[in-house]
Structure 1
Amino acid sequence: MSYPCRITYAPKAVADLAALVQEIEEAIEEALADPYGGLSVERPAGGGRWDRVALIGPFAMRYAVSDAPGIDPPTIAITRVLP
């Protein structure tokens, strides 16, 4: 916006946003059940097998998998969720 303003959310809008967050979280958890499989691919710009991109519904998720020996439990760090 080109001018200062305050944005407020009606209770229904907050509920809509909360439902969307829940939907995205469920899709992410489903995609990460097999972090190297499904619709997951190595990030096109490089970064190696651990730097991944997966499709989750209408979104793309970028994440890194840390599962080398000695890392217990393995860690998945989600770095971006893009429309």
Structure 2
Amino acid sequence: MSGYRIVYAPEAVADIVALAAPGERRELRDAITQTLTDPYGGLSIERPGGGGHWDRVALVGTVAVRYVVSDAPGIDPPTITITRVLP
């Protein structure tokens, strides 16, 4: 990973529990981590409807991952907060 710490909001954890069987949850989280290695690249876009460049959505397989990037000067380590994981 490129120095970003990934954390999950309670709603995102509940989404993962609802979307994946117990044995598949780790795979989904690993896929999210792999996709967000570059939080501004790949299949990532600014969240439709506003929020700024830090409020983003990325496609991970068949799910949409909504997340916020906190990497302004002085934030150490920079953090990606997963807010929702939607089908």
Q: Which bracket does the TM-score occupy, shorter chain normalised? A: 0.7 to 0.9
Give, in angstroms, the shift of residue 33 of structure 1. Answer: 0.4
Give, in angstroms, the shift of residue 17 of structure 1. Answer: 1.6
Q: Tell me what 1:44 maps to.
A: 48
Distance in 2 of aligned mates of 1:20 and 1:60:
17
Would you say 1:33 and 2:37 are equivalent positions?
yes
SS in 2 for 1:29: helix
Q: What RMSD over aligned residues (CA atoms) do the two structures have, in Å?
A: 1.1
The code of the aligned residue for 1:45 comes to: G
Q: How many pairs does the alignment contain?
A: 68
Identity rate, percent: 66
The code of the aligned residue for 2:55 comes to: D
What are the superposed Cα offsets for residues 28-72 of structure 1, whole Å, 9 maximum, x if unpaired? Answer: 101110000000000011100000000000100000000000000
Where in structure 1 are there 5+ consecutive unaligned residues?
1-15
Q: Tell me what 1:18 maps to.
A: 22
Would you say 1:65 and 2:52 are equivalent positions?
no
- Relative contact order, CA 8 A, sep 6+: which one is greater? 2
CA radius of gyration, larger in? 1
Give, in angstroms, the shift of residue 22 of structure 1. Answer: 1.3
